[in-house]
A and B are shown apart, each in its own frame.
Chain A
């Protein structure tokens, strides 16, 4: 292709791209002369250049369009909405012809007589003929938007008018240039456009270039000339090459620095330091050349939204903020298409038709907001609309019909989890593929593209209110700072962006790595951090974990010895993956190094724990770890792609190692495991569904000659049609009730610390067997049984032969002192059910306060290990001569039954010692103690 034509195409395409933004403004403000002048001049330039280059078709079209625009600009003709469409149409035709030229080097053959005749008709002042007139409806639409904007524009108008004469002057000057020097003129023209855009920017929607509008119009052409000489057009390949070379230079620098570190003092030290600085600066500088404002990726969006809204007869406004936010060109290229897709989606699927919007009580015009800003080393892009949001029902239907999930699974999912399905391949909830959407780019591709560059995408959507997508992407991909670590004798790099902190654990450390059923965890400042051994994840040989001996030394003696020695000091790399933290245990940590991330070979790309590889300063190749991949590989991030798991993990852990409770693990309703202290459960039964009867809306079974009410653990639970179902039986006196569960999983001994409060039936969540587990609130179910089956407050309703004993109980007051809310919550109902009146306090101090107030109790049950004041001290105080309570029996509650403790307990005045959760013994002991004390 002729070099001149190539230049012409590049220039014209650029001008057209810029015009895209302005054209939408033209629609809002059809008689904006600045804009019209701009389009006029573009057409004029095209016409002139085409004549010079010998492109008759384009020249002819441009000529006729210029004629019409000339009259518009001079105000001879009123710009009507159909006329705007005609202008856009002619610009599109220009674009089409340009594309043809670009591909073949020649003008595509074709006939423009239709559009030319319509242009001529407008030029001659006739009505816009048929083709455009058919668009009358669209026109109304435009008018409405236009009207809305009009009054805002009034304030802005003065500056626009002031500059107009000057613009004309500049224009005239340019025209001369066009004739003399074609290419140079094109450049200048371009710069003029910029300036004009600045002035046009006073129109509300285009805030892009809102800098120094006043200056620009005053300084006039002199300034323009200087700008032209200040910027250069450089081929992208040149920059890319430069970047690659700088990357290599950085590596070589690193290599040299590494050598230097081993040699204490040499004459190279000083020059090397200087080299170091220069290279760093160079790196920064070159990086800057690659930075582009994100607005470049957005330029096409207003036009896209406009076209969609016309085609689908919707009213949509696109608001953009933060166009100036800069990011790496490479990153920009990667997100351009996903962004376009998402905005298109918002306009197409998100925003409703004006009628629907009105019915929903929203303004007719929908809004799409596009926001970009820096946050840490990342750029955040938010795309939000006030449309109809994601329809959970449609997603569910689609997910089931696509076989992505079963109805059962979906029942257990939160709305947020369900919404995540839209990121699955082949997922579109649009009932029909419109010409606008359904171009084969799904949200799965969007997510893949974003994740490919180390970014992440989050979605929040409220049905009826709208959706927001939040994209987080790194500023650059080229060079990252990484931590070099060793595990199993191999070195790996961990990108520093993902590293939150480093923790060293040695023999002498106060806090050690602890094991829960083979899974290591670490207490990091009141938080329980799940850990993985990198050796395990990577299946590196010759290594032994602390818990279970794995791959005992075979052959690899040397490494084994080494890693054993190294395991005295272990390092935990604390990484943050979304909202979730994971500690990666490595044998050694070396240093941080700047690395150039290179993609791994295609045949290895499926190994998810690596995000790339690199060459270190010493010339060796090492793999770059991807913490997110490691989390996925270890399954710790279960459900993180559905968001909920992460939130649970976020709440990590006030971890209380003192108490161990035997827990019954079961499942019911959703997938999350549930737990209930085994001591509270009387029996486990399998109840045949056929034996279930109903009375008073309550499920019942005949059980050991008594009626036993049954309750499902959760409402989401499905009661099987036939067969047996496992039931947890809770009994008190002769009364019992059953909770229906899906299945019994396990019985384990575990520390329990309820960290999140729950809702109905769930006391809260705790980490049990390494998983977030709901702890069942038995009281809730006992209260749920109708007719005051277990009447906890008054204990009425017991069998008549038991009334005496019960009423006796009811008079007895028990003070329960325990710091753990879990045990208070567990014991209070237990004792209440047994007929005692229970007062519970969370510490010895509060108990003594009650004592001072003169409260009296029949019995005091106290925990031993409590913060501030231990049970022993508390007992001493209670039993002291002057205490009001010195005759009140005291029962100690403890989780360990060490003989020494027993002795000490008796010494300080505890009448009895009971192990926690030994329910039968507890009740018996209380009864016994009380009857003893009565005598």
Chain B
């Protein structure tokens, strides 16, 4: 009995710590994005609130919370209210299985990877519901676009990870990282370079980032599925988008970059590197991918809807399948 209570207590503590830090990260990811894109575009980004605008995310949160919660007339009120919550919950739940350090994971599930992909799919419902319930044509089109986009890219995303699963012989994310550490270079990035490429492109589409930000294509659909949302409900969608970015980056770091471990060859050459805690390696890898997302946003134009579908079905999925075949053959003959 005492032991059960202890486990529950530790889990709650872990969860609180994990999500506290996570949400702080998300808040400052918005700041980082504005700064990075600002400097790419010859501007300074936020500079007013606090030194170098460091308190800007806090001001934003306060503003969003105190804004009037507008529910337009003729919307489907129940669905309208629940849609952003579905998106946010799905985005947050992903992190339950993502290990940030050795033995630091909330739930060490044996099918962690499947869980992440499944939960990410649930998030799509939030977007479709939001678009449908808003009773706005722009939101409706945005919702439809995102439904089609997410379904087609989820296939590519899942397939790109099959190669990793084959190599690691496990769906457990911690196990995948441990398997990578057995290699001398400590990451699946090199044998799975094709899978990594497909994964990154599909992840961009999955998180609605440029060049695949069609569901919210600003210049076409004004804001897409959340055009009617305001205040705290809007911020739920916003949070969900950034959380999805973090979960995709974390997945990339875990499945392809060796998670919290440093490449063994590096540690052999510079033994001092083994003193660096795993979380630092992990965060560095995640930040790299987050930066990649920002960087692409500052550089690329947007694809058209039909081109996006063509890339998904005609390029990414065949590539992922090819990758699976090659990996399987090598695995079989080893």
- A, B from the same assembly: no
